[in-house]
A and B are shown apart, each in its own frame.
Chain A
Amino acid sequence: MASVEFQNVSKSFGAFVAVPDISFQIADGEFICLLGPSGCGKTTSLRMIAGLETPTSGRVMIGGRDVTYLHPKDRGISMVFQDYALYPHMNIADNIAYPLKVRGEQETKRHARAKEVADVLKIGDLLKRLPSQISGGQQQRTSLARALVYPSEVYLFDEPLSNLDAKLRLEARGFLNHLQRDMGMTAVYVTHDQAEAMALATRIAVMDKGRIVQFAPPIEIYRRPATTFVANFVGNPPMNLVAVEASIGEGALHLSADGLQVAPIELNDAIAKAAKAGKMTLGVRPEHLRVAGPTDHNILSGELFANENMGPESLVTLERGDNGRVTARIFTDDEIKVGTSVHLAFDARHVTLFDDSGARIPAAGER
């Protein structure tokens, strides 16, 4: 196991800048998730760790060693490819055992080991088939097995579970989680499924347009999203963002928007400074909204747009005129009818404020 470090790494394809400038450090034994929308440079970053792409500038270190120009085979890594890249002419057993073959392991031994890993991933009875003769999900697990069949310094996963059905995905996720806790693997895991990132990562790097917007433990990303982009990307459903007018009066912050009622918010320096722009974004998570009662002061109102029952809770979506929609996770059995106006309440401590530029404003009493 080893640490991984990017020092001011950038990557351009011709005139197109895929990754402008990234620096980060991953400690030995960390499980990092790269989370971000399609095309934000996750695969490109991963390929630079693997050595399949040479950075345009900057340095890549693995285990404290500069590997920027080192051949992939000498980096002590293993990788699951987004497109699986199974060898079409080899059967599943030979596919999984190929890394061992390259390492000079004899045939019976490497096939025994391949069978072990395949059994764990529930593809043990497909070993004699060719990749074209198994399903997409099975191909994906074969590719995962091939990456796990030998010990590596760093494991790289490019959306390794994207093609599995919900049940298998949960199982495989649990397996990876167990593996990580068991052997403390250093892993970089690309996904655009935020639930997967939350479940697996020790830290999450949220990426947008080739930059890391926030690099923090999952709970931190969830509780204190650095920008509206992160807030809007993490959480299921993501945080509700309401554009508000901000003003200061009587030593407190006053927010106003159509269908919004907020008790004055305690001031601090950061809030006072951000309020000068006159505009802010108020964020509140769907799980922190409830149907309003007579004593509530913080209220969002609108027409009911949709009411989806999810089993233990319902997803209630309000339409706030022209000001967009708000979704709440409601844990009551109250009947709410489409078209009626609904009032949702939230607590002041669950409010996250973002300034004019979308950056989070530290709340009073923080830091």
Chain B
Amino acid sequence: MQKRTQNIFVRRTVFAAAATFLGTVFALPLVWFIFAPFNARAELGLAIPSPFTLSNFATVFENTFAMQALLNSLIQAAGGVVLVGAAATLAAYALSRSPIPGKGAVTYILLLFSSVVSGSAAMVPIFLIISAAGLIDTHLAVILVFAGGLLPTAMFILRDFIDAIPRSYEESAMVAGASPLQAFFDVALPVIRPGIVVVVVWAFVNIWGSFLIPFILLRSDKLMPASVAIYSFYSEAGTPIVTLLAAYSLIYSLPVIALYLFVNWKFGFRFFGGIKS
């Protein structure tokens, strides 16, 4: 009896120690990420800022290129998200509800190719296509390539989501006198919305953090997104200016955090019931 309790005690201690260690390993970079921007002498090592200062931010705000880049990121991410969200919703709805033969295969093949399209392997053909279309160095080029790359996965996620929603929602609307379009907007869309929200957040984060595609498709400084502009905080020799980099990184990540909070507050990552189970 005594031995058993001891045994359990030892096991718990070991588990707690291991969990603490793992937690610390993951938390340290985050702690650095939060402290360093407010430290005028920030290094790669962890240090509590003294004095607490906003001077890093002041310097960053004076860098017009970096500030313009944040706006560019927003334009490209918003454009991509709207396109992906709208197109994926309509496509997934059609794929889920219409009796097209072989629709499953279509989705899978698209899914397979999408990993190629937005991957680096396809960079050369993408560049050639965009340049042939005369779109090099435009926001539109970035938005289109991202939309193309993300769409299949978005469609796949949403189609699964819509498949799980009983058809009788729209059916009862149509019997009640609604046209297919009315049934879609009045009944289906609100029910699908939680799924769309997930896809939108996912697409936003993807575009926001992407470096390669805008780097290759854009030329002029005034179009570059933040993911590229972040390199303006490296010295000519290629070493990072840690203080400014930290401050900019924090600003750079705020929109994503804000989006998560907003979505969670406004929609919640949830799903409502209402069909007899």
Contact = CB atoms under 8 A, between A and B. Distances in A.
A83 B275 contact: yes
Nearest to B180: A71
Contacts of A189: none
A5 to B, nearest CB: 19
A84 B178 contact: no
A146 B168 CA distance: 14
Interface stretch (A95-103, A112-120, A193-201, A233-241): A95-103
B7 interface: no
B182 A85 contact: no
B171 A81 contact: yes
Q: Which of B166, B171, B176, B179 has the most CB of A within 10 A?
A: B176
B177 A85 contact: no
Which applies to chain B's interface (DSSP): helix, strand, loop or mixed? helix
A85 B166 contact: yes
A98 to B, nearest CB: 6
B179 A73 contact: yes
A72 B171 contact: yes
A57 interface: no
Nearest to A80: B172
Nearest to B172: A85
Contacts of B273: 88, 131-132
Contacts of B169: 85, 87
A85 B168 contact: yes
Contacts, number: 87
A77 interface: yes
Contacts of B110: none
B265 interface: no
Contacts of B168: 81, 83, 85
A89 B179 contact: no
B276 A89 contact: no
Nearest to A47: B171
Interface string A154-183: 001000000100000000000000000000
Contacts of B175: 50-52, 72-73, 77-79, 156
Given A89-B190, A102-B178, A102-B182, A130 B171 contact: no
A181 B235 CA distance: 89
B91 to A, nearest CB: 22
A78 B156 CA distance: 34
Interface size class of chain B, counting residues whose CB lies under 8 Å from the partner chain: 20 to 34
Contacts of A50: 171, 175
Contacts of B172: 79, 81, 85, 146
Given A52-B171, A89-B190, A102 B177 contact: yes
A86 B176 contact: no
Q: Which of B172, B179, B191, B275 has the most CB of A within 10 A?
A: B172
B171 A85 contact: yes
Contacts of A139: 274, 276
B186 interface: yes
Contact of B272 (A72, A84, A130): A130
B187 interface: yes
A163 to B, nearest CB: 7
25 contacts: A73-B176, A73-B178, A79-B175, A81-B168, A81-B171, A83-B276, A84-B275, A84-B276, A85-B169, A85-B172, A86-B274, A87-B169, A87-B173, A87-B274, A88-B273, A88-B275, A89-B190, A98-B173, A101-B186, A102-B173, A130-B272, A139-B274, A146-B172, A150-B176, A156-B175
Given A52-B171, A73-B177, A77-B175, 17 more contacts: A50-B175, A73-B178, A78-B176, A79-B175, A81-B172, A85-B169, A85-B172, A87-B190, A87-B191, A88-B273, A88-B275, A98-B176, A98-B178, A102-B173, A130-B274, A136-B276, A139-B274
